[in-house]
Chain A
Amino acid sequence: MSFLGYPRRDGSVGTRNYIGIISTVSCANDVAWWLSQKVKGCAPFLHGQGCCQTKPDLDITTRTLISLGWNPNLAGVLVVSLGCEAVSADAIAEGIAESGKPVEKIAILKMGGATAALTQGSRLARAMVAEASKIKRQEFPDSELMLGVKCGASDTTSGLAANPAAGSACDLLIDNGGTCVFGETTEFIGAEHILTRRAATPQVADKIMDIVARMEKRVIAMGFDMRGGQPTAGNIAGGLTTIEEKSLGAIVKGGTKPIQEVYEYGERPQGKGLFIIDTPGREPEFLTGLAAAGAQVIVFTTGLGAPQGFPLIPVIKITGNPATYKQLPDHMDIFVELADKVGSGIAQAGESLYKEILAVASGKQTKAEKINYGNFPNIFTIGPVM
């Protein structure tokens, strides 16, 4: 099967054709946001990191911003720096430029402040958008797609309907030679023994156990029962009792194929097939992890109706909760009917979701794109803000 996408110099294929306006630090967010609203054809990436953190977190931020710049949905990137932040805006711009795409950089303090930066940045962004508009959609095989899979605001219907349908679509894409990424390590807790059975090698199985142990250790170090934080109050109201129950329903969204490799947050998987990225379950950080991995389309399952999209990636919302689908027409793209027989109807739901994925990859707008929801993601951190 095929879709219509935008060819990139590194051989990847975009499903959207934006100029990314990437803020290097929380203090540069305002200018990045203004630029993205002023110049049509831009997608902002704003976040809360980039300064006053220890080296491991600064490294995660740098790596993630470079990888975001590489995302095939961006035709070019304007890096927006304050000028005194801990991360190096030059290193970020240079790292993105290695992809072969055009990269420009502005620094707010050096330019005489926000107004001057906005004027200069608008000029640069407009020129980049004009250049990008010459790139036309062409037909590509679906093997060029990397699908990110996420579940959020889950209830028990997530594990029964929406996640199995997403998993079935993942299996179809991998059978066709494509790539899927999933994660949410917190939501492997209690289900890691099922994932390790699908590890391509014993080393990958060990890595799965390691990232789960690492995440659980961070949680336990706080000295509280994680319940209430994970599963969330909303998950519990939706019928999910423990993290184990949530995890057993959550891992189904990654399908049934072998897990080829486990990557750190902000890394870009190499090769085709199914991959895990070590991430928390929370949306703002996790969606960024998928975007940094290189996903051009995201399937997002929900029970209660999580609304988030992502600035540079179409996010397809899918639910098995009939009340959620009915009550949230602004947000829900697809409904999967709950079956009273295990597995019944799932293959069919997976096929129709797959068709929607290809349509969205070819330019069809998702609900989150139509209402422009999801402009405030974040980057995962493991240490203190100082």
Chain B
Amino acid sequence: MKQKAVILNSKDNVATALADLKAGDTLELNTGEKTIAIKLTAPVPFGHKFSLANIEAGSAVIKYGEAIGIATATIQPGDYVHVHNVASARGRGDLAGGVK
């Protein structure tokens, strides 16, 4: 059966939903190395992301094996991951001189 989410790189701490997923759904996912089970704490729409791990506030959110931003709050496995809990580290004119 087709999986309802995909992990793009074994280093990733988020997965991408391939269907509209509901809070409480449990997903079995292939990390490329092993199979893990994740229970969602919130609805995750098609194409959006959820966490596979504990991500501390201030640490990197990883997709494609690369940092896609910084967690602005502590993120638990199964949490919906988007603009409410991830900030960009780039193009930040709002931070004095940017963050680079």
Chain A residues proximal to chain B, CB less than 8 Å = 155-157, 159-160, 189-191, 194, 216, 219-227, 230, 236, 238-239, 241-245, 248-249, 303, 321, 323, 338-342
Interface of A is mostly: loop
Q: What separation, in Å, do the CA atoms of A222 and B5 have in the docked complex?
A: 38
Residue of B whose beta carbon sits closest to that of A155 = B47
Q: Is B52 an interface residue (CB 8 A)?
A: no
Which chain A positions have C-beta within 8 A of B93?
219-226
Q: Determine if B16 is an interface residue (Cβ-Cβ < 8 Å).
A: yes
CB–CB B91/A239 < 8 A: no
B9 surroundings in chain A (CB, below 8 A): 342
Pick from A191, A241, A248: contact of B82, CB under 8 Å: A241
Known A-B contacts: A221-B93, A249-B64. Give 14 more (CB < 8 A). Answer: A156-B48, A156-B49, A157-B47, A159-B64, A216-B90, A230-B91, A238-B47, A239-B48, A242-B69, A244-B67, A244-B88, A248-B68, A342-B7, A342-B9
Contact A191 B66 (CB under 8 A): yes
Interface residues of B (CB under 8 A from A): 2-9, 16-18, 30, 32, 45-49, 61, 63-64, 66-69, 81-83, 86-94, 97-98, 100
CB of A303 within 8 A of CB of B47, answer yes
Find A189's partner among B61, B63, B81, B90 (CB 8 Å cutoff). B90
Cβ-defined contact, B92 with A156, below 8 A: no
**Contact (Cβ within 8 A) B48 A244:** no
**Are A243 and B82 touching (Cβ within 8 A)?**
no
Are A241's CB and B90's CB within 8 A? no
A248 to B9, CA, bound (A): 12
Contact between chains at A241 and B16 (CB < 8 Å): no
Nearest chain A residue, comparing its CB with the CB of B29:
A340
Whether the pair B68, A342 counts as a contact (CB closer than 8 A) is no
A224 to B91, CA, bound (A): 8
A16 → chain B, closest Cβ, in Å? Answer: 35
A60 to B35: give the CA distance in the assembly, Å.
53
